[in-house]
Structure 1
């Protein structure tokens, strides 16, 4: 019996990505590649419109659901964009949370940098550690406005006690 060729062969853009990765693509082509998964027929036009609206890949990936809807993306495509944006943060979070002992400030900084870089409001994050410097949890404890955030020491202490934390790492964007 002969095997049949797949009904949906790869596009030239997909082939180029498989050959050379993201380095061979500009921001618009990367967005087009992502949109081809949910809007195969109009991915090029949508990618062009998204670049005009968001001015780059990072801005596109960190756009709100409402902004993506206004750009003409379907709910399934918005889901794909949100998933792609939040997946690396989750991987980094698990990497630090599942580590038995906190040893590298660099790993913590990588996680914090990625998780906080695209925030549009002020956020105060707390990483809770036990007495052996094992990471218990990482929580956005306070949120503010565009340029200010109220920090309440009493709530920090109550939260630390609730987590049975003996050490805390604070981060603020």
Structure 2
């Protein structure tokens, strides 16, 4: 009888990340002649239980940022010590906000993070953004200014390219819509005042809050930012549309053109 050809480890295609590996691998035939090996997961299973207990009993204040990230990675990577991965993510991106704000392609550059885990981390970020946005929907935005800043910071502070976002408000200054109108380069976004006003009329908006980010991290407005804002104000005013403010978001803060008395 012809013996079937053997398959080496190099012939087996490896899955995209750790979760796929452990979920999809087939049971291996036992080699009774091989010496017994200790379970390689024993050293972190107890750690996971202790970390969960601390969180359950004392809340997030009892945990460092890397431990919070570990708790999440427990679910995403079920059979691996996730502490080194959590620490590597924070070392690479600086903060939890930096981790969740990073694009999937950069997340995957961290050892141990595959495509599936990167997308799941971005899903957490999306849930947080939607939660903050829901707090603004239908409310008088000018009376919830800190919530506006918090939402815009979460949505834009860690973007690698400039975005120009508009908050459209009704006559009660309640949020009608929040849209990214333009995405540009690392230091410039083309903005067309007529398009801004056209969209406001389509939504029956009577007021606007303009927002854009500076990927450099410095929210200081440029001369071009100021001039562009004044052009939008001049285009919108004859049509009964008010521009309340133009907010510039940086990684560690924000600037308000109205607060700086530049408009």
Assess same fold via TM > 0.5: yes
2:96 corresponds to 1:57: yes
2:66 is matched with which residue?
A: 28
Q: Secondary structure at the match of 2:123?
A: helix
Q: CA deviation at 1:23?
A: 2.0
Q: Secondary structure at the match of 2:76?
A: coil
Structure 2 residues not aligned, in runs of 5+ = 1-44, 214-263
1:167 is matched with which residue?
A: 207
Q: CA deviation at 1:92?
A: 1.4
2:55 is matched with which residue?
A: 17
Q: How does 1:5-154 map to 2 (within 5 A)?
A: 11-42=49-80, 43-71=82-110, 72-99=112-139, 101-104=140-143, 105-154=145-194
Q: Which has the higher contact order (CA 8 A, sep 6+)?
A: 1
Q: Secondary structure at the match of 2:191?
A: coil
Q: Secondary structure at the match of 2:121?
A: helix
Q: Secondary structure at the match of 2:75?
A: coil
Deviates more, 1:102-111 or 1:151-160: 102-111
In 2, the alpha carbon distance for the partners of 1:172 and 1:112 equals 9
In 2, the alpha carbon distance for the partners of 1:140 and 1:155 equals 12
The structure with the larger Rg is 2
Q: Secondary structure at the match of 1:37?
A: helix
Question: Are the counterparts in 1 of residues 102 and 159 from structure 2 also a CA contact under 8 Å?
Answer: no
RMSD: 2.2
Residues 53 and 110 (structure 1), Cα distance of their counterparts in 2 relative to 1, 3 Å cut: closer
Q: CA deviation at 1:103?
A: 4.8
Residues 64 and 102 (structure 1), Cα distance of their counterparts in 2 relative to 1, 3 Å cut: closer
Deviates more, 1:46-55 or 1:154-163: 46-55
In 2, the alpha carbon distance for the partners of 1:27 and 1:132 equals 40
Runs of 4+ off more than 6 Å: none
Q: CA deviation at 1:86?
A: 2.0
Aligned length: 165
Deviations 1:93-118 (A, max 9, x none): 1121233x445133322322322222
Question: Are the counterparts in 1 of residues 161 and 186 from structure 2 also a CA contact under 8 Å?
Answer: yes
Normalised TM-score (structure 1): 0.82
Question: Are the counterparts in 2 of residues 28 and 56 from structure 1 also a CA contact under 8 Å?
Answer: no
Deviates more, 1:107-116 or 1:157-166: 107-116
Normalised TM-score (structure 2): 0.56
